[in-house]
């Protein structure tokens, strides 16, 4: 869970409104700190997972290659 006090500005996947299992991420925070905040798009008050930029890139790559 994130312990930052700065507000996070979330980016939601374009697929998120299609009823899918989607995540949001905070790109401005990621650019400034090198750590990517990730959360469930359906639970905006839920926990935030902080992952390295490399781990997030791997997650995106995996999702792009998945048969949806």
DSSP letters of 24-59? EE-HHHHHHHSEEEEEETT-TTS--EEEEHHHHHHH
Name, in order, each residue with C-beta under 8 angstroms of 35's C-beta and a sequence gap of 6 or more.
29, 50, 51, 52, 53
Question: Is residue 8 in a domain?
Answer: no
Residue with tokens 């990730």: 38
The predicted pLDDT at position 2 comes to 45
Structure tokens at 43: 């639970």
Predicted local distance difference test score (pLDDT) of residue 31: 93
| In a domain? residue 9 | no
Residue 11 domain-assigned? no
Q: How many domains does one find in the chain?
A: 1
What are the pLDDT tens digits along the chain (68 aa)? 445 567 899 998 766 666 667 889 999 999 999 999 999 888 888 899 999 999 999 988 998 887 65
Whole-model pTM: value is: 0.74
């Amino acid at each position: 869970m994130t312990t930052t006090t700065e507000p996070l500005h979330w980016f939601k996947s374009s697929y998120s409104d299609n009823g899918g299992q989607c995540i949001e991420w905070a790109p401005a925070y990621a650019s400034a700190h090198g750590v990517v905040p990730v959360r469930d798009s359906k639970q905006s008050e839920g926990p935030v997972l902080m992952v390295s930029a490399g781990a997030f890139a791997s997650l995106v790559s995996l999702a792009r290659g998945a048969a949806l």
